[in-house]
Structure 1
């Protein structure tokens, strides 16, 4: 195993002065170390943004690298192919190999990208190498030197990293005072939801809802981070008489913030958007998001949401959600929460396959729609 300190030091010794990325637990150690020095690590909203930041640094004469999870590789493809490869801008990217070597040992959303990450890079003609779990420091140095040689030839190489290659370090903790317990907030929301469908974002939020109130009207996302609000928008537009709740996270909402603009523009009166904001990407190691300087409620208001509110107590949550469910929206409710302290429930896919989750959710929506039509 390579220490996080060595990982960062070897890159710095080779002139890499800036890193950007979207957290993956495989790179939790380097991200934690780099984040202790302002300006060394840029927490990007999504993987494409991270690559663009590295491109800007490279254009300004700096060596930069990107760290990301292979499940987010798709967000990177447009700037990779139309910008980096077209302009031949030398940027180094580290991508984790989630779902490899055995997809069954990882979450179901990694089953497709796990075995196809490297073939996909090969298909694009991107130089790439793999740092395996048993590789030592010398192998890491060798790959870095090879990658730099590729960059000197105008390429943007990738180093694929298996699980357990880079050690973790203790994270810096952000202030958690004055924040609600997320489980208590989710319990209130689930109770108030009635028969309204709930679309829960990926990661710990969906697991928490699953443990508190598993029901067919819940859709638990696996992967596809940042798209919960867009899924909820589609559900809401399909039947404007049905209230729809999206249970989002700050990192996920920030990843595709433009979705808020679409919601405001289309103005669905039945959509209730709730964001649990704990300030970190908790399921990947609690790396900080940028929500500390982004007022998501004000962003939603600027996008055209009918009402927005930040709730700091459970009575405020009850009041806000009740009002949202009984008045025309779209509504935004931001709930500052603490990082989770108690053991988490298992993923919903421990009890239901992704296909069965889809089927029961769809059946519930269709039954509700048919009932409403017959009553009309």
Structure 2
């Protein structure tokens, strides 16, 4: 294992002073370490944006690297192939290997990309090396030396990182006692939603909903971060007479913020979009999002939502959610929440297979078709 501080200092010693990425628990240590010094790490909204940002820094003469999870590799393919590879912009990318070598040892959403990460890089002809959990500093240095040669040749090298290869260090998150407890918020929302279908984003949000009230009308999104709102939009447009609820997180909403514009353009009157905003990517280690500067309710209002309100108390949540269900939408309700504490419920896949969740959710939609 390479200590997080040593991982960063080895890269910095070789002139890699600019980093960007999307949080993964495998890289929680380096991201936390870099984030203590302003300007050393850019938290990107999505993986493609991280690569493009690093490419821009490289064009300006700075050696750059990116850290991301292989489940987000799909978001990287377009700027990788049409920007970095086409223009031969040298950017070093670190990718965590979820769902590898044995997909059965990880969550179902990592199975496909876990087995396809290495073949995908080979298909593109990209140089890559494997940093294993038992790698030491000497082996890491050897990998970086080889990667530097690829960078010097204008290539885009990849280092694939096994679980446990890089050490952890605690992320620093601001304590906010003025925010609501997410568990209490989710309990209230499930009561207010009644029989309406709820599409919950990936990570702790979906797990919390599963722990509070598991029901067929809940769709727990595994992976595909940032797309809960698009899934719910499709559900809402398929049956305009049925209320549909999105249970989103700030990091997920920011990842594909353009969907807010699409929702507003399609104007589904039956859609209620709830965003739990705790300011961090909690399930990957508490790395900060950019919601501290971007007020998502104002973005939704500017995009064209019928209403977009920040709710500071449980009474406001009850009042504003009820009002949203009783008037044409789309509506957004942003709820500032604290970082979660205590044990988290298991993922829904602990008891339901993805196919079973699909089938029961579809059946619930058919049964409620045309209902309010």
Normalised to the residue count of structure 1, the TM-score between the two structures is: 0.98
Q: Does 1:292 align with 2:292?
A: yes
Distance 1:18 1:317 in 2: 41
- Any conservation in 1 of the 2:173–2:288 contact (CA below 8 Å)? no
- Any conservation in 1 of the 2:208–2:345 contact (CA below 8 Å)? yes
Distance 1:176 1:347 in 2: 26
Render the CA deviation track for 1:172-195: whole Å, top value 9, x for unaligned: 121322100000000000001111
Q: Which runs of 4 or more aligned residues in structure 1 lie more than 6 Å from their structure 2 counterparts after TM superposition?
A: none
**1:367 paired residue number:** 367
Distance 1:286 1:101 in 2: 26
The aligned runs of 1:119-268 (5 Å cut-off) are 119-268=119-268
- Any conservation in 1 of the 2:93–2:156 contact (CA below 8 Å)? yes
Distance 1:228 1:169 in 2: 30
Distance 1:89 1:49 in 2: 15
Shift of 1:272: 0.1
**1:23 paired residue number:** 23
**3-state DSSP of counterpart to 1:327:** coil
- What are the ranges of 5 or more consecutive residues in structure 2 without an aligned counterpart? none
Render the CA deviation track for 1:121-141: whole Å, top value 9, x for unaligned: 000111111101111110000
- Any conservation in 1 of the 2:24–2:68 contact (CA below 8 Å)? yes
Shift of 1:216: 0.4
Render the CA deviation track for 1:67-94: whole Å, top value 9, x for unaligned: 0000000000000000000000000000
**1:45 paired residue number:** 45
**3-state DSSP of counterpart to 1:112:** helix
**3-state DSSP of counterpart to 1:293:** coil
**3-state DSSP of counterpart to 2:346:** coil
**2:281 paired residue number:** 281
Distance 2:163 2:132 in 1: 8
The aligned runs of 1:12-91 (5 Å cut-off) are 12-91=12-91
**3-state DSSP of counterpart to 1:292:** coil
Q: Does 1:342 align with 2:369?
A: no
- What are the ranges of 5 or more consecutive residues in structure 1 without an aligned counterpart? none
Distance 1:91 1:177 in 2: 41
Render the CA deviation track for 1:220-248: whole Å, top value 9, x for unaligned: 00000000000000000001110000000
**3-state DSSP of counterpart to 1:359:** helix
Distance 2:53 2:127 in 1: 21
**3-state DSSP of counterpart to 1:247:** strand
- Any conservation in 1 of the 2:93–2:159 contact (CA below 8 Å)? yes
Distance 1:106 1:315 in 2: 40
- The two structures, once aligned, show a CA RMSD in angstroms of 0.9
Distance 1:242 1:170 in 2: 44
Shift of 1:105: 1.4
Shift of 1:57: 0.3
Distance 1:244 1:317 in 2: 17
**3-state DSSP of counterpart to 2:166:** coil
Q: Which moved more, 1:105-114 or 1:219-228?
A: 105-114
Distance 2:175 2:334 in 1: 17
Distance 1:171 1:231 in 2: 31
Shift of 1:119: 0.8
Q: Which moved more, 1:293-302 or 1:96-105?
A: 96-105
